[in-house]
Amino acid sequence: MQRVTIMDVAARAELSPSTVSLYFRKPDAVSAAASQSIARAIKALDYVPNLMAGGLAAASSRVVSIIVPSVRNAFFAETVATMQSELSKQRLQVMLGHTEYSEHDEEDLVRTALSWAPAAIVLTGLSHTAATRKLLRDGKVPVVEIWELGAQPIDMAVGFHHVQVGSAAASHLIQRRRKQLLFLGARLQEDRRAAQRAQGFVETARSVPDVSAGIIQHPAPASADVGAMLLTEALRRFPGVNGIACSNDHIALGAIFECQRLGLAVPERLSVVGFGDLSFSAGCNPSMTTIRPPGDLIGREAARLVIERIAGVDGKTERAVIDTSFSLLHRQSS
């Protein structure tokens, strides 16, 4: 599969393979003259280093394994894309894994990831199988858990408190004088974080006198269609509902569309709050009040932690936990 090796480059540059290796690893340690002839040889031979050989010899690779539920989800896509660009600046490669919201699949992915002696592993959420936790605690691979805060991380964590998100949505609706609140959620069984938002929403709402709150859910993945269905269901079971928060903006959009079809004025008759601030949320009619999770910031901070940990000396094992927080964007739908 590979023809040109470091030996060929060395031969052509009339140096030893060790020096060529050094040229890649610590360019400053090689004299200018040597550097030049090595660079020339590389170009002439079209040499591509074999990173597997390097990784084997060094017992570590420049691979960062990122494991998310699915990159189909715009939240994680954002984070993965941001991390990728930050990491590639440091010549770190991204290996991607999808759990599809299964902790069991996640365990397999972690096991595979470990097979590559990665520079770091990035996981989504704080909930994992016992075996996963054991694998990661035993190994001395840096671990960053993203998109969730609130429990003890394995190593480092970057994210925010989803319970607080639900709470913020409820407070906002109550402030807008909404009394009968509902949380519309898709796939709350699988999506722990959406469930936390629902929980925070209901708890905060119920702590206020004269305010009622409940959860309406659907097992299918979030989409505008599901949002419309959930709104219909909500009105059927609680005709007086006047404030809803949704597990994400797709649901909220579907709910708003359904209100338009039914002739219910938003926000007069019904206030709607979403989660995500997706591409369409600011532009739709009425524009959507939503809570924006900082997906890019999470990616950037996670990348930073990884890079710093790699660069740092071994002793420097600070178990950073970064709260990126979130922001409620008050727009027309509430």
Partner DNA sequence: TCGGAAAATAATAGCGCTGCGAACGCTGCG
Partner DNA sequence: CGCAGCGTTCGCAGCGCTATTATTTTCCGA
The distance of closest approach from Cβ of residue 162 to DNA in the complex, given in angstroms and rounded to an integer, is 39
Question: Among the candidate windows 72-80, 157-165, 184-192, 302-310, which touches its own copies by CB under 8 A?
Answer: 72-80
End-to-end CA distance of the chain: 61
Residue 220 touches which of DNA, its own copies, none (CB < 5 to 8 A by kind)? Answer: none
Residue 30 touches which of DNA, its own copies, none (CB < 5 to 8 A by kind)? Answer: DNA
**Which of 58, 262 has the CB closer to DNA?**
58
By CB under 7 A, name the binding residues for DNA.
2, 5-7, 10, 14-19, 21-22, 24-25, 29-31, 33-34, 49-50, 53-54, 56-59
Return the residues of window 8-47 that contact its own copies according to CB under 8 A: 46
Q: Which residues pair with 243 in a beta bridge?
A: 181, 271
Residues 197/165, Cβ–Cβ less than 8 Å = yes
11, 39, 45, 94: which one contacts its own copies (CB under 8 A)?
A: 94
23, 257, 275, 326: which one contacts its own copies (CB under 8 A)?
A: 257
Residues touching its own copies, count (CB under 8 A): 63
The distance of closest approach from Cβ of residue 149 to DNA in the complex, given in angstroms and rounded to an integer, is 34
Q: What is the token pair recorded at 152? A: 């003890």
72, 137, 237, 319: which one contacts its own copies (CB under 8 A)?
A: 72
17, 49, 150, 214: which one contacts its own copies (CB under 8 A)?
A: 49
Sort 189 into a burial class: Cβ within 10 Å, 0-12 / 13-18 / 19+. exposed
185 touches its own copies (CB under 8 A):
no
Measured between alpha carbons, how far is 222 from 184 in angstroms, rounded to an integer? Answer: 10
90, 93, 127, 325: which one contacts its own copies (CB under 8 A)?
A: 93
Question: Among the candidate windows 71-79, 177-185, 239-247, 266-274, which touches its own copies by CB under 8 A?
Answer: 71-79
The distance of closest approach from Cβ of residue 309 to its own copies in the complex, given in angstroms and rounded to an integer, is 14
**Which of 46, 268 has the CB closer to its own copies?**
46
**Which of 29, 51 has the CB closer to its own copies?**
51
Q: What is the token pair recorded at 62? A: 């420049």
Measured between alpha carbons, how far is 265 from 242 in angstroms, rounded to an integer? Answer: 10
Nearest to 260 by CA among 332, 331, 328, 320: 332
6, 9, 213, 224: which one contacts its own copies (CB under 8 A)?
A: 224
The distance of closest approach from Cβ of residue 219 to DNA in the complex, given in angstroms and rounded to an integer, is 40
The distance of closest approach from Cβ of residue 49 to its own copies in the complex, given in angstroms and rounded to an integer, is 6
